[in-house]
Structure 1
Amino acid sequence: MKEGVDMLNIVDLFSGAGGLTEGFRYKGYYNFICHIEMDKDACSSLELRNVYYYLKKKNNLSPYYEYIQGKISRDDLYSIIPRDLTKNILNKEISNDTIPSIFEFIDQRLSNNELDGIIGGPPCQAYSIIGRANNKSKKSTDKRIYLYKYYLDFLEKYKPKFFVFENVKGLLSFKDLSGELLLPKIICEFNKCGYEVDHQIVDASNYGVVQKRERLILVGKRKDLVFNNSFFDFLATYVEDAPTIKELFEDLPGIKPGESSKKYCCDVSSQFIEKYIRKENNILTQHAARPHNENDLKIYNLVLKAKKKGKNFRYTDIPEELRTHSNTISFLDRYKALDYNSVSHTVVAHIAKDGHYYIHPDLRQNRSITVREAARIQGFPDDFYFENSRTAAFKQIGNAVPPILSKKIAMAIIDFLGELNNFM
C-alpha cells in the first residue's frame, strides 16, 4: 500500500478472541470499524488486546505486563486508557433481532465513509464431521446451519470490496435439511449478492503454523472490480515451513500436573520463536498445567510411550481396569499425544473440557498441554493474554484462526487489492 493511502475499513464478524483480527492488525493497513462477538470472555480478550496495541504505540507496555501478572487490577489498567478504546467491540449475538442495532452501530462508526471489507466465519460446529454426528438428532432445529445468511445481510447493506469467510473443511460435504450440499448454495447466494467467490482448503501448517489445521477459506470480491489473479495466487507466495513442536516448546520450562511457571527456561534460540512468538521483554503467563487424577496419568503414560514407538493408542488398547467409558466402538482416539518431531494435530474447542487429546510429548512431565502451549500451537504470540478462566482461555484458543495464517491472509488481500488501479 502506498504511503498516504487510507487504511481499509473492515468489520470483523464472529470475532472470537481475535485470531483472525490479530493478523489484520499487522502494519496498520486495516481500520477495524467494529468487532462483533457473542461470547463475553472472548470480548474481554479482544478489549485487552486493544489496550495492548494502544500502550505499545505509546511505548509504555509496563501497565499491561503488570496486569497480566496480577500486579494491578483490570480497573487500574483501564483507568489509564481512553474510554472509547474498546468501544468498537460489540458483545452481541448476531440475529434477526439484533441486526438493526448492529447496523446502526456500524453506521455511526463509519460516519459517511465506505466499508472496504468484512472478515470472519460463523460458528462451525454444525458443519464439522464430529459436530454433525453429535447434532444429527437436532439438525432440523439447529440455527447455526444458516448463520451464514447474516453474513449476506452485511454484504447486501455495505457492498464492501471484499470479504473473507473462514470455516471448517466439513462444510465441503455438509448437506442441508433438503439433503443437498450446502456450500454450492452459499456460493450461489454470495453471487446473487454481487460477489465472485473463490475458495480453497488451506492447511495452516503450510503457512508456518505448528499445527495440521485444514480450513475452508472463501474470498469474495465485488463483481464490478476487475482482477487478473486469484486471491489464492497471492496467498501461495506466503507459504512457509512450520517448525516442530520441540522447537516451539524449547524455551518453556518443564512442569508437572498442577504446577505452573512464570519464567522461561532459556533465551530465545529459534528464529521462528523470535519472529512470531516471543519478544525479548515478554513475560511468561498462562503456563499452568491442569491437575490430573492417577487414572488419567497412567493412561497418558501408556499413550505417550506408544506414540514414541510410532503408534496412536486407541481406547480399546487401554487396560480394562483403567477405562472409564463403556463405549468401545466410537471415539477410540479420545487420548492422543503430541509428537516432538512433528506439528500438532488440530486444536479444537473441546480442549476446554479436558486435555486428553493433547498430551505433552515429554514423558517426564506426563500431563496435558497448558494454555500457553496451546496458544503457541495456534500461533498466538506470548504477549497475547486470554481473559478469565482457564476453561474460557482454552475455548477461545480452540475456536480461533491462527494469527500467523491470518497475517498472511491479510497481506495477500493487500496484494490482491493492489491490482486495482484506484487502490494503489
Structure 2
Amino acid sequence: MQIIDLFSGAGGLTEGFRKEFEVIKHVEKERAACETLKLRDSFYYLEKHNMINQYYDFLKGEISEKQLYSFVPKKIFKRTINAEINDKNIQSIFNEIDYDLDDTKNITGIIGGPPCQAYSTIGRSRNASKKSEDERIYLYKYYIDFLKKYKPIFFVFENVKGLLSFKDVDNELLFPKMQQEFEQVGYNLEYQVINAADFGVPQVRERIIIFGAQRAYPGLPRTFFDEFEAMKEKPLTVKEAFTGLPKLHSGQTNNKYVDEISYFERKYYRKSKKLCLTENVSRPNNANDLRIYKIVAKAKLKGKNLRYDELDKELITHKNTKEFLDRYKALPWNAPAHTIVAHIAKDGHHYIHPDPIQNRSITVREAARLQGFPDDYYFENSRTAAYTQIGNAVPPILSKKIAKAILIALEQFSL
C-alpha cells in the first residue's frame, strides 16, 4: 500500500507506517529535516538488504556519510522532495510523485500535518494582527489538492488542538470550514483530541487527529478510532525513558551507554547491542542559569514547580516578572514529561534535567527519547536543527499505533 507523506519534518509520523506501508514520497521544505529523512530511508534500505553494519559504522564515526551512501541506490534519496508546498511548486511536486508512482497501484493514503504554529494558542494574541499575512493558516488547502489529485482511500491529518478554537481573518472558526472543504472533495471524516501519554509516550502531548476516508467506506473513520482507542497503554516515565543513558554536566557530550539493555530500551529505543549512542550532547550554560537550574530541579523533586518571581532577586535578570513565570521548568522523574516543542532549539530552560547533580537541560538524545524516537534515529545537521526537528515531530510510539489501527480497520473493510 503506497502512501505520500506531506509536511514530513524529520519523519516521526512516517516512522510508524514504514513496516506495513510503502512511503513513496516525503515532501518537506526544511533542508536539515530532508537530510534526516534521506538518512532514515537509507537505514531501512540497509536493514532490508542485510547491510545494517555499515549504518552502525557510520554512527560510530568509522565511515563517512558519503561512504555510507555509496551502499544506497540513488532512487532511495529521491523519495524525499525538498520543496515548500505552494502555488509555484505544487505541479512540479506532483510531477515528481507521478514519475515514481507504480502504475499498477493507487495511493492508499496521505499522511501529514501542516506547520502548527499558526493555530497554536501560544502567542495567539500577539499574532492576531498578522493573520492576513500568515500563509500557514491555509496550507491545509494544499493538502486537499493532494486528495483531489490522488484520491487516496484514507488520510491522516495531525495538528495542535488549538486548531479547534482558531478563528480566521473573518473572525470565524476555521475548523468547520476545513471540515466542509474535506467533505466537498469526497471524504467523510472524524476527529479526536488525543494525549500521546495515553498511548505509551513518555510525554504529555495533546494533539488533534483527523482521519478521513472516501465516501465509499462510510464506517472507516469510526472503525479506525475504535481500534486506535483500544491501543491505549500506560506511559513511560522520564526515568524509564532515560534508562541506560549516562550522566553528564552542562556543555558535555557522553555517548557511552551505562547499563545492560533494559526492558524499556529493548522495546522502544535500543534494539541492537551493536548500536552506539549518538547525539547525547548537552548545551553549555552560564553560571546564573546553572544556579537557577539546580534550585528549580530540587524544588521539582519536592513536587513544586518554582515560578520565576519566586527566585532570589539576584538571580532574576529578566525585566518581565509578570508573564512567562514558568520560563524555567524541570522535568519530573516519575511521570511523563511536559510537551516538547520546537522552542527547545532556542534554549533548554523549559526542559531542565530532573537530576540536580547533573545540573543541565536535556540532551538531543534525551529529547528524542521523550518523543519516542529509537536511538538509531539520527538527526541532521546540527544540535539546533536536531532539537527543532524533534520538537516538531509526531512521536513514533504514537504513529506506530495510528498505522496499526489503520491497518486493522482497512482489513475489516477487505482493503
Please indicate the TM-score interval, normalised by the length of the shorter structure. Answer: over 0.9
Deviation (angstroms), 1:68: 2.1
CA contact under 8 A between 1:116 and 1:161: conserved in structure 2? yes
CA contact under 8 A between 2:56 and 2:274: conserved in structure 1? no
Deviation (angstroms), 1:409: 0.2
Q: Would you say 1:45 and 2:40 are equivalent positions?
A: no
Give the counterpart of 1:296 among 289, 292, 307.
289
Give the counterpart of 2:406 among 405, 410, 413.
413
CA contact under 8 A between 1:316 and 1:328: conserved in structure 2? yes
Residue identity opposite 1:152 in structure 2 = I
CA contact under 8 A between 2:188 and 2:215: conserved in structure 1? yes
Q: Would you say 1:350 and 2:343 are equivalent positions?
A: yes
Q: Would you say 1:333 and 2:326 are equivalent positions?
A: yes
Give the counterpart of 2:74 among 77, 83, 87.
83
CA contact under 8 A between 2:3 and 2:111: conserved in structure 1? yes
Counterparts of 1:210-221 in structure 2, within 5 Å, are: 210-221=202-213
Give the counterpart of 2:245 among 224, 249, 252.
252
Deviation (angstroms), 1:108: 1.2
1:226 and 1:114 mapped to 2: Cα distance? 20
Give the counterpart of 1:117 among 109, 120, 132.
109
Q: Would you say 1:99 and 2:90 are equivalent positions?
A: yes
Deviation (angstroms), 1:100: 0.7
Deviation (angstroms), 1:137: 3.0
Q: 1:133-154 CA distances to partner (integer Å, 9 max, x unpaired)? A: 3422312211111110101101
Per the alignment, in what secondary structure is the counterpart of residue 16 of structure 2? helix
Give the counterpart of 2:137 among 136, 145, 148.
145
Mark the runs of 5 or more structure 2 residues left unpaired by the alignment. Answer: none
1:219 and 1:370 mapped to 2: Cα distance? 34
Per the alignment, in what secondary structure is the counterpart of residue 11 of structure 1? strand
Q: TM-score, normalised by structure 2?
A: 0.97
CA contact under 8 A between 1:198 and 1:230: conserved in structure 2? no
2:308 and 2:218 mapped to 1: Cα distance? 54
Q: 1:194-239 CA distances to partner (integer Å, 9 max, x unpaired)? A: 1001000111111110000010000000001243743110101211
Mark the runs of 5 or more structure 1 residues left unpaired by the alignment. Answer: 1-7
Per the alignment, in what secondary structure is the counterpart of residue 24 of structure 2? strand
User: Once the two structures are aligned, what percentage of the paired residues are identical?
Assistant: 57
Deviates more, 1:97-106 or 1:272-281: 272-281
2:243 and 2:401 mapped to 1: Cα distance? 25
CA contact under 8 A between 2:251 and 2:284: conserved in structure 1? yes
CA contact under 8 A between 2:6 and 2:27: conserved in structure 1? yes
Q: 1:336-392 CA distances to partner (integer Å, 9 max, x unpaired)? A: 000101100000000000000000001110000000000000000001000110000
Per the alignment, in what secondary structure is the counterpart of residue 196 of structure 1? strand
Cα RMSD of the aligned pairs, angstroms, is 1.2
CA contact under 8 A between 1:315 and 1:333: conserved in structure 2? yes
Give the counterpart of 1:30 among 1, 16, 21.
21
Give the counterpart of 1:204 among 196, 218, 229.
196
Residue identity opposite 2:56 in structure 1 = Y
Per the alignment, in what secondary structure is the counterpart of residue 209 of structure 2? strand
Q: 1:109-163 CA distances to partner (integer Å, 9 max, x unpaired)? A: 1142311110000000010111423422312211111110101101111111000
1:119 and 1:275 mapped to 2: Cα distance? 25
Match of 2:127 in 1: 135
Match of 2:224 in 1: 231
1:162 and 1:126 mapped to 2: Cα distance? 25
CA contact under 8 A between 2:8 and 2:26: conserved in structure 1? yes
Per the alignment, in what secondary structure is the counterpart of residue 107 of structure 2? coil
Per the alignment, in what secondary structure is the counterpart of residue 136 of structure 2? helix
1:84 and 1:157 mapped to 2: Cα distance? 23
Q: Would you say 1:243 and 2:236 are equivalent positions?
A: yes
2:131 and 2:314 mapped to 1: Cα distance? 37
Give the counterpart of 2:50 among 51, 59, 70.
59
Give the counterpart of 2:118 among 113, 121, 126.
126
Match of 1:179 in 2: 171
Match of 1:16 in 2: 9
CA contact under 8 A between 2:34 and 2:82: conserved in structure 1? yes
Per the alignment, in what secondary structure is the counterpart of residue 207 of structure 2? strand
Q: TM-score, normalised by structure 1?
A: 0.95
Counterparts of 1:308-319 in structure 2, within 5 Å, are: 308-319=301-312
Q: After the TM superposition, which segments of 4 or more aligned residues of structure 1 sit over 4 Å from their partners?
A: none
Q: 1:75-108 CA distances to partner (integer Å, 9 max, x unpaired)? A: 1111121121111100000001101101111111
1:204 and 1:281 mapped to 2: Cα distance? 30
CA contact under 8 A between 1:226 and 1:420: conserved in structure 2? no
Per the alignment, in what secondary structure is the counterpart of residue 338 of structure 1? coil
Deviation (angstroms), 1:253: 0.7
1:58 and 1:158 mapped to 2: Cα distance? 30
CA contact under 8 A between 1:125 and 1:132: conserved in structure 2? no
Deviates more, 1:154-163 or 1:104-113: 104-113
Q: 1:20-73 CA distances to partner (integer Å, 9 max, x unpaired)? A: 0110112xx211120000000000000000111111112222221222232222
1:144 and 1:223 mapped to 2: Cα distance? 28
Deviates more, 1:364-373 or 1:228-237: 228-237
Q: Would you say 1:363 and 2:377 are equivalent positions?
A: no
Residue identity opposite 1:160 in structure 2 = P
2:315 and 2:26 mapped to 1: Cα distance? 46
CA contact under 8 A between 2:243 and 2:265: conserved in structure 1? no
Give the counterpart of 1:164 among 135, 144, 156.
156
Deviation (angstroms), 1:324: 2.4
Q: Would you say 1:70 and 2:61 are equivalent positions?
A: yes
CA contact under 8 A between 2:294 and 2:357: conserved in structure 1? no
CA contact under 8 A between 1:300 and 1:367: conserved in structure 2? yes
